[in-house]
Amino acid sequence: MAETPSLAEAPLGSRPTALVLSGGAALGAWQGGVLWALEKNHGLSFPQVLGTSAGSVNGAAYFQGTTDLLRELWRDVPREAFLRFEPRLSPPSLFSLDSIAGYLGSVISEERCRAAKRCWFYAVAVDMGGAGTVQAQYSPEPGGPWDGPLLEHVLGSIAVPFVFPPRRLAANGSPARLFVDGHLSSFVDLGPLLDRGALDLLFVSVIGPGRGTKPRLSPRGYVSAIINQLMRSQVDNTLFAASDRIRRGGVRVFEFGPSRPLDISVFGFKKDECRRVFDQGVGDAAVLAKDASPWRVL
């Protein structure tokens, strides 16, 4: 078993660090504030970024090299694009995914992502055809894997069932498949991140360990609890599956969550709420950058 250095010997960010970003719809505003501040205010960089749902949007902005986009997106959230009411019966859904595609297509460029060569990026979605978790990979290296249209995989990753319709995607010559939100799977594969040299794993989750999984007696509280349970199980199952390899490799794992609950409407995308939790994320990031030890879980 490899020796694992203490934080005093190797502060967070001093070793190759992979970032694992959870979803959470509008709660992703907090995560956007964390990611923006870790780079802009504290000089941390990440050679690998994995994102699920809203985390894939934040991760794609980082992958492109436009972290400032996170501030523009979450402090002036385009609610009309994220919540265009367009109900359908088959498949059942309430809002348009095409309007989100139009907005994200205007701010995320596949060409800029390729040119930036910034990091490895992984977008997690679920294949409704039975293939389960699909972890699309995008390489910063010439000739490396590029698993189909980046924007389409991000849209599949955020397609929450009954809220948004599934996203149809044909990539790299394969038949078209329907993709939905990555949190419908309670697992992501850390193997590629570890294979590519990650020695620290930083999970940035919109809930803290053990927090927010009991339903409160309100519609907002109930929906939040369901979402939190999905995210909680994904982190727990992912770490359980990889725990032996993590320990053998001397890999450190940190799970960072909000300093206080993000009491906002998950699917509201209200500007004042998103702005408030983005700013909370900026402040929380300063605490993490100063001393990450309270958030180390392995």
What is the mean pLDDT of the segment spanning 149-166? 94
DSSP 69-138: HHHHHHHT--HHHHT-EEEEETTEEEE-SHHHHHHHHHH--HHHHHHH---EEEEEEEETTTTEEEEEEE
Q: What is the pLDDT of residues 57-91, one digit of tens each?
A: 999 999 999 999 999 999 999 999 999 999 999 88
Q: Which of 241, 122, 105 is nearest to 182 (CA)?
A: 122
Q: Which pLDDT does position 170 carry in this prediction? A: 73
Confidence tier at 199 by pLDDT (50, 70, 90): very high
The answer to whether 251 touches 194, Cβ cutoff 8 Å, is yes
- How many CA atoms lie within 13 Å of 160's alpha carbon, on the beta-carbon side? 18
| Residues in Cβ contact with 128 at an 8 Å cutoff, skipping those fewer than 6 apart | 166, 177, 178, 179, 180
Q: Which pLDDT does position 171 carry in this prediction? A: 62
Give the rounded distance of the alpha carbon of 36 from its chain centre: 14
For residues 156 and 186, which has the higher predicted lDDT (pLDDT)?
156
Confidence tier at 186 by pLDDT (50, 70, 90): confident
Share of the chain above pLDDT 70, in %: 93
Confidence tier at 172 by pLDDT (50, 70, 90): low
Q: What pTM was computed for the model?
A: 0.93
> Which residues, listed in sequence order, are joined to residue 44 by a DSSP beta bridge?
none
The answer to whether 298 touches 239, Cβ cutoff 8 Å, is yes
By DSSP bridging, strand 48-52 and strand 17-21 are parallel
**Residue 137 pLDDT more than 60?**
yes
Kindly report the CA angle at 193 between 213 and 204, in degrees rounded to 5?
A: 30
Confidence tier at 177 by pLDDT (50, 70, 90): confident
Backbone torsions φ then ψ of 89, nearest 5 degrees:
-95, -30
What is the mean pLDDT of the segment spanning 25-32? 95
What is the mean pLDDT of the segment spanning 149-177? 87
Q: Which pLDDT does position 101 carry in this prediction? A: 95
Q: Which pLDDT does position 207 carry in this prediction? A: 80
Mean of the per-residue pLDDT values of the chain: 90
What is the mean pLDDT of the segment spanning 196-211? 85
Q: Which pLDDT does position 227 carry in this prediction? A: 72
Q: Which pLDDT does position 74 carry in this prediction? A: 96
Q: What is the pLDDT of residues 209-236, one digit of tens each?
A: 544 445 444 555 555 677 778 778 888 9
Peptide bond into 165 cis (omega under 30): no
What is the mean pLDDT of the segment spanning 195-222? 72
Q: How far apart are CA 116 and CA 249, in angstroms?
A: 30
Confidence tier at 169 by pLDDT (50, 70, 90): confident
Q: Which pLDDT does position 286 carry in this prediction? A: 98
Share of the chain above pLDDT 90, in %: 73
Q: Which pLDDT does position 220 carry in this prediction? A: 52
Q: How far apart are CA 234 and CA 31, in angstroms?
A: 17
